[in-house]
Chains A and B, each alone.
Chain A
Amino acid sequence: MKYLTRAEELILLAVVRLKEEAYCVPIYDLVQEMSEKEWTLGSIYNPLYRLEKNGFVKSYLGAPSAERGGKSKRYYKVTKTGIKALQEIRKLHEQSWDDISEALI
Chain B
Amino acid sequence: MKNKNKISKLARYLIALSLPGYSDDSVIGDYEELYMRKLSADGKLKAAAWLWLQIIKTLVPFIKHSIEWGGIMIYNYIKNGFRNILKNKIYSFINITGFAVGIASCFLIYVYIEAELSVDAYHEKADNIYRVTSWLNIGGNEFNGSATNALIAPALRQDFPEVETAIRFRRVGGASVRYGDKEFNEYGITYADETVFDIFTWPAIKGDLKTALTKPNSIVITEDFAQKYFGDDDPMGQTLVFNKSKNMIVTAVIENIPFNSILGYSAICSFKTIETPENLSSLLFTDWTSHNFHSYVLVKDNTDLKALEEKMDKLLYKNAGESLEESGSSKKYHLHPLRDMYLNPPASASPPITYVYIFSAVTIVVLLMACMNFINLSTARSIKRAREVAVRKVLGAFKYRLIVQFMTESILTSVIAFLFSIGLIYLFMPGISEISGWNFFDLLSEPVVYFSGLFFFTLLIGIVSGFYPSLVLSSFQPAKILRANSGRSSSKSSLRSVLLVVQFTISIALIFSTSIIIRQIDYLKNKDAGFKKEQLLISRLPSQTVRRSLDALRNELATVPGVASVSFSSTIPSWGLASNSKLPEGYEETQTLLMDEMNVDHYYIETMGMELVAGRNFSDEFPTDRHASVIINETAARKFGWKEPLGKIIRQRNPENMDEFLSRKVIGVLKDVHQRSMTGEIQPLFMISDPDFPFSFNDLRVVEMRLSGGDIQETIENIKVKWKSLFSGKELNYSFMDEVFNRQFRRYELSKQLLSYFTTLAIIIACLGLVGMASFLAENRTKEIGIRKVMGASVFSILKIFIKDFLKWILLAGLIALPVE
Contact = CB atoms under 8 A, between A and B. Distances in A.
Interface of A: 23-25, 28, 40-43, 45-46, 49, 61, 66, 68-69, 71-74
Interface string B509-534: 00000000000000000000000000
B33 A25 contact: yes
Interface residues of B, number: 24
A71 B19 contact: no
A46 B142 CA distance: 91
B22 A69 contact: no
A49 to B, nearest CB: 4
B32 A28 contact: no
Given A46-B19, A46-B21, A41 B32 contact: no
Contacts of B34: 25, 28, 41
Given A68-B32, A69-B6, A41 B26 contact: no
Given A45-B22, A74-B22, A40 B29 contact: no
B54 A42 contact: yes
B6 A23 contact: no
B696 interface: no
Given A69-B3, A74-B24, A45 B19 contact: yes
Given A68-B33, A69-B32, A45 B1 contact: no
6 contacts: A23-B26, A23-B30, A40-B57, A41-B30, A46-B19, A72-B24
A72 B29 contact: yes
Nearest to B36: A67
B664 to A, nearest CB: 106
Interface of B: 1, 3, 6, 18-19, 21-22, 24-34, 53-54, 57-58, 61-62
B26 A71 contact: yes
A45 B31 CA distance: 11
Contacts of B18: 42
Given A42-B58, A66-B1, 11 more contacts: A24-B26, A24-B30, A25-B33, A28-B34, A40-B57, A41-B34, A41-B58, A46-B21, A71-B25, A72-B26, A73-B26
A66 B245 CA distance: 105
A25 B54 CA distance: 13
A41 B31 contact: yes
A49 B22 contact: yes
A49 B23 CA distance: 12
A90 B1 CA distance: 47
Contacts of A61: 24, 26
Nearest to B59: A42
Contacts of B22: 45, 49, 74
Contacts of B33: 25, 68
B57 A42 contact: yes
B288 to A, nearest CB: 92
B48 to A, nearest CB: 15
Nearest to A50: B21
Nearest to A65: B29
B58 A24 contact: no
A45 B30 CA distance: 11
B592 to A, nearest CB: 100
Contacts of A25: 30, 33-34
A49 B21 contact: yes
Which 6 A/B pairs are nearest by Cβ-Cβ distance? A42-B58, A71-B29, A24-B30, A74-B26, A49-B21, A40-B57
A70 B34 CA distance: 16
Nearest to A44: B30
Contacts of A71: 25-26, 28-29, 32
A45 B29 contact: no
A43 B57 CA distance: 9
A40 B18 CA distance: 12
Q: Which of B3, B30, B61 has the most CB of A within 10 A?
A: B30
A35 to B, nearest CB: 16
Contacts of A23: 26, 30
B7 to A, nearest CB: 10
A72 B22 CA distance: 13
A9 to B, nearest CB: 20
Contacts of A69: 1, 3, 6, 29, 32
Contacts of B31: 41
Contacts of B1: 66, 69
A61 B25 CA distance: 10
Nearest to B53: A40
Nearest to B19: A45
Contacts of B26: 23-24, 61, 71-74
B32 A45 contact: no
A69 B29 CA distance: 8
Given A45-B21, A45-B22, A66-B1, A73 B54 contact: no
A66 B33 CA distance: 12
B150 to A, nearest CB: 87
Nearest to A62: B26
A22 to B, nearest CB: 12
A70 B101 CA distance: 65
Nearest to B24: A61
Given A24-B30, A74-B24, A41 B54 contact: yes
A98 B27 CA distance: 41
A45 B26 CA distance: 11
